[in-house]
Chains A and B, each alone.
Chain A
Amino acid sequence: MTPRFRRLWLTLGLLLVLLAMEFGISFLPLDREARPLVLIPAVLMVGLVGAMFMEVGRGPTIVRLFAVAGVLWLTILLGLGSLDPMTRTDYHVQDAFPK
């Protein structure tokens, strides 16, 4: 087996291990707010597929630029878009103006 195929097999193995971790973590008694932590293995899996199957590091420099741009704009989109739900505080009118 050539090193290239060994890398591909290793990647598949790692992906399946991460998938199993993700599956297992989802059954942990996490708070509703903390449950998006289940996504951490998924983020690692995305990185693995990008690096090993799509070989982002192998192409010309502009390929890496486009890949980084995609991640950057996604981060801005999700970051700015999440600001409202993450930071807004709802005050009950009843509490603010007690009778």
Chain B
Amino acid sequence: MSDVTHEFQYSSARHRSESAISGMWLFLATEVLFFGALFLTWIYTRHWNQVGFDAGARQTELAIGTINTVILLASSFVYSAGVAFIESGNSRRLIQCCAIAWALGVAFLILKFGIEWRDDFVKHLFPGHDFAIQGPLSGGARIFFVFYFLGTALHGVHMVGGLILVGWIVLRARRGEFSPTFYTPVTVVGLYWSFVDIVWIVLYPLIYLVGRGP
């Protein structure tokens, strides 16, 4: 779709753009509630199992979690820079920014699932029959790791979706489909990408920091 045309249901190209952006915000509002249930689970289960829950949290890899947070913040920043570049008509810089954001996203997934999850399984931290933490703290620690695996898996699925979308933006940008007057898909995907970052910003302290007292 070129920058000046618009479908019959819109009064103008601007109307189409605003509808797309509003639609993404509405979707993100539903996603807030989706992850809200997960955060409520954390509040509830930690409250009733604090000692065991925190004992589980202390088994997580703080270094990997912190590096991953920096990676996602940087990725969100780079993508936002890409949006600013295409607004000024620099499509080449947009592609470069998207490629960097994409690579950072892949680095996150490798660290999270290729290294951290693998170590967790090796250390028997998956809440199964051979769970590493035994004794009175076992119950709370198991609940923590249910939250941990579920939360990071749900976030990971969203990351994969985001990577597909960022890749789609790169392909379209390479075909020269974006210009200073039409870049709505770039903005919409950027909203989703930053939202995935926001989810991690909340998950990071819930998983790695709150349970890690001296």
CB neighbours (8 Å) of A46 from chain B are 198, 201-202
Residue of A nearest to B47 (CB): A85
Residue of A nearest to B26 (CB): A66
| Count of A-B contacts judged by CB separation below 8 Å | 134
CB neighbours (8 Å) of B106 from chain A are none
Decide if B109 is an interface residue (CB 8 Å cutoff): no
Interface residue SS majority, chain A: helix
Q: Quick one: given A60-B18, A73-B33, are A67 and B25 in contact (CB under 8 Å)?
A: yes
Decide if B204 is an interface residue (CB 8 Å cutoff): yes
Query: Does the CB pair B44–A81 fall under 8 Å?
Result: yes
Q: Quick one: CB contact mask for B178-195 with A, threshold 8 Å, 1 for yes?
A: 000000000000110011
How many chain B residues sit at the interface, stated as a range, is 35 or more
A57 CB, min distance to chain B CBs, angstroms: 12
Query: Does the CB pair B43–A78 fall under 8 Å?
Result: yes
Binds A, one of B69-77, B121-129, B142-150, B168-176: B69-77
Query: Does the CB pair A26–B210 fall under 8 Å?
Result: yes
CB neighbours (8 Å) of A52 from chain B are 80
Decide if A99 is an interface residue (CB 8 Å cutoff): no
Q: Quick one: given A42-B202, A42-B205, A53-B76, are A59 and B214 in contact (CB under 8 Å)?
A: no
Q: What are 20 A-B contacts with C-beta separation under 8 Å?
A: A8-B80, A11-B77, A19-B66, A19-B73, A26-B208, A26-B212, A32-B51, A38-B205, A49-B198, A54-B191, A60-B21, A63-B25, A66-B28, A69-B29, A70-B32, A74-B36, A77-B36, A78-B39, A81-B44, A85-B44
Residues of A within 8 A of B (CB): 2, 4-5, 8, 11-12, 15-16, 19, 22-23, 25-30, 32, 35-36, 38-39, 42, 45-46, 49-50, 52-54, 59-60, 62-63, 66-67, 69-71, 73-74, 77-78, 81-82, 84-86
